[in-house]
């Protein structure tokens, strides 16, 4: 089942993990062949973990057997493995938000469901988050197992552009393997393609000094196909444009868009003043001149057109957050197993063998 090597622990010798509860959130879309090997890998990585933990698997409206696999394996492993099933494909950001909403831990780790992220990196990242008093430790796929021209080169360009626009200097915004302080990540909501801008998003409620980057392992995809395509690039560009405006003018949008409106309004007013002077002093007819229409258009555009889109965007976000509206709809899942839903190191209802297979602990 598992063909990946098992690395040694990345924790310092004699390190004591601070007390916490850990939630591992994994959005999945058409990853039926990866669900079981991923859970095996997670249980191998967490076999000697000293704190309680859970796994939240989010099916993002898959068209294959992914939801059935999640239900089967959740029942097999026990109550510390939870499934969230969305009614349709809402894309990765909404699926990640659904997982964050379902997570109960005060520390939350996220990773992709394609086995390219390695769960063995999670304990080291959690230890750094808690011992260095950080709010986010983001993974850096320094040695990516993907093609250079179609994946790595565009990613490098995008990472530099995002870092320049947002002001949060990271080398790998696209890595889904991240570890958050739960209280901080729950203070923001994710929309659109914002999952790749999470570090910049968090910087609005914390500080870049509490965001760090950690080199992580990256594996080549074994099963399934990549969900990334050129269409996602265009969506990312649009979200990056909005992020630029939101990060700089979220509390004072009128300073920027009002400035644009003033410029357009002044240009339109100058045109209208020029035509008025021609009419009054030279007696020429201006009613059929295109400049008249242009002048009125610039004035109206300066007052309304530019700001209406931004105000609509902000109002939609205010509505979603103030009214508790969700960007997804999930099917209710029946309870399975016994216990409180955590994998406790001393009283686990579902234990794992050295191979990561589930084995029921016996109570005497």
Residue 328 domain-assigned? no
* pLDDT tens per residue, range 273-302: 999 999 888 888 888 888 989 999 898 988
What average pLDDT does the chain have?
83
Is 174 found in the same domain as 39? yes
Is 236 found in the same domain as 166? yes
Residue 6 domain-assigned? no
pLDDT band at 334 (very low <50, low <70, confident <90, very high): confident
Is 349 found in the same domain as 238? yes
- Greatest mean pLDDT range, 89-98, 252-261, 318-327, 336-345: 89-98
Tokens representing residue 352 in the block: 């794992």
Residue 177 vs residue 362, higher pLDDT: 177
SS3 45: helix
Domain limits for position 273: 253-322
Is 191 found in the same domain as 50? yes
- Reply yes or no on whether the pLDDT at 363 is more than 50: no
Is 221 found in the same domain as 284? no
Q: How far apart are CA 10 and CA 340, in angstroms?
A: 29
In CATH, what number is assigned to the domain containing residue 224? 3.90.550.10
Is 206 found in the same domain as 318? no
- Reply yes or no on whether the pLDDT at 253 is more than 60: yes
Mean pLDDT calculated for residue range 2-11: 66
Number of independent structural domains in the chain: 2
Which residue in 104, 54, 126 sits closest to 343, CA to CA?
54
Q: Write phi, then psi, for 331 (nearest 5 degrees).
A: -75, 140
Burial class of 11 by CB neighbour count within 10 A (0 to 12, 13 to 18, 19+): middle
Residue 5 domain-assigned? no
Residue 115 domain-assigned? yes
pLDDT at position 15: 86
* pLDDT tens per residue, range 119-172: 999 999 999 999 999 999 999 998 887 666 766 777 788 788 888 888 888 999
Residue 16 domain-assigned? no
Residue 71 domain-assigned? yes
Is 271 found in the same domain as 174? no
pLDDT at position 348: 45
- Reply yes or no on whether the pLDDT at 186 is more than 90: yes
Residue 4 domain-assigned? no
Mean pLDDT calculated for residue range 213-223: 87
Share of the chain above pLDDT 70, in %: 77
Least confident of 58-67, 106-115, 245-254: 245-254
Is 275 found in the same domain as 207? no
pLDDT at position 2: 53
Question: How far is residue 266 CA from its own chain's centroid?
Answer: 41
pLDDT at position 226: 61
Is 347 found in the same domain as 270? no
- Reply yes or no on whether the pLDDT at 340 is more than 90: no
pLDDT at position 350: 42
Is 318 found in the same domain as 278? yes
pLDDT at position 12: 78
Q: How far apart are CA 174 and CA 38, in angstroms?
A: 20
pLDDT band at 316 (very low <50, low <70, confident <90, very high): low
Which residue in 231, 26, 193 sits closest to 116, CA to CA?
26
Q: How far apart are CA 284 and CA 236, in angstroms?
A: 51
Is 227 found in the same domain as 274? no
User: pTM of the predicted model, to two decimals?
Assistant: 0.77
Mean pLDDT calculated for residue range 262-270: 89
Is 179 found in the same domain as 57? yes
pLDDT at position 147: 62
Residue 9 domain-assigned? no
């Amino acid at each position: 089942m598992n063909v990946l090597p098992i690395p040694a622990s990345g924790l310092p010798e004699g390190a004591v993990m601070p007390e916490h509860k850990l939630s591992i959130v994994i959005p999945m879309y058409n990853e039926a062949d990866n669900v079981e090997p991923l859970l095996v890998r997670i249980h191998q990585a967490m076999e000697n973990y000293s704190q309680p933990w859970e796994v939240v698997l989010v099916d993002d409206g898959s068209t294959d057997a992914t939801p059935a696999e999640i239900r089967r394996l959740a029942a097999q492993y026990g109550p510390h493995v939870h499934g969230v099933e969305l009614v349709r494909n809402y894309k990765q950001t909404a699926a990640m938000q659904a997982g964050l909403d379902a997570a109960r831990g005060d520390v939350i780790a996220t990773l992709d469901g394609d086995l390219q992220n390695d769960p063995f990196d999670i304990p080291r990242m959690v230890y750094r988050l808690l011992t260095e008093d950080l709010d986010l430790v983001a993974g850096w796929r320094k040695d990516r197992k993907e093609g250079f021209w179609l994946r790595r080169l565009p990613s490098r360009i995008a990472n530099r552009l995002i870092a320049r626009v947002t002001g949060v200097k990271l080398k790998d915004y696209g890595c889904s393997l991240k570890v958050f302080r739960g209280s901080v990540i729950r203070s923001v909501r994710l929309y659109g393609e914002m999952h790749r801008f999470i570090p910049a998003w968090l910087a609005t409620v914390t500080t870049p000094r509490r965001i760090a980057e950690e080199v992580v392992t990256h594996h080549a995809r074994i099963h399934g196909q990549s969900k990334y395509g050129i269409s996602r690039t265009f969506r990312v560009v649009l979200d990056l444009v909005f992020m630029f405006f939101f990060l700089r003018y979220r509390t004072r949008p009128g300073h920027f868009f009002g400035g644009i409106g003033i410029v357009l309004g002044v240009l339109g007013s100058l045109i209208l003043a020029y035509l008025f002077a021609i009419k009054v002093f030279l007696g020429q007819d201006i009613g059929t001149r295109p400049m008249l229409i242009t002048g009125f258009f610039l004035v109206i555009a300066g007052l309304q057109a530019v700001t209406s889109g931004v105000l609509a965007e902000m109002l939609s976000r205010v509505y979603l957050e103030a009214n508790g509206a969700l960007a997804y709809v999930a099917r209710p899942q029946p309870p399975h197993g016994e216990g409180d839903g955590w994998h406790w190191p001393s009283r686990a209802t579902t234990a794992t063998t050295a191979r990561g297979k589930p084995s029921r602990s016996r109570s005497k």
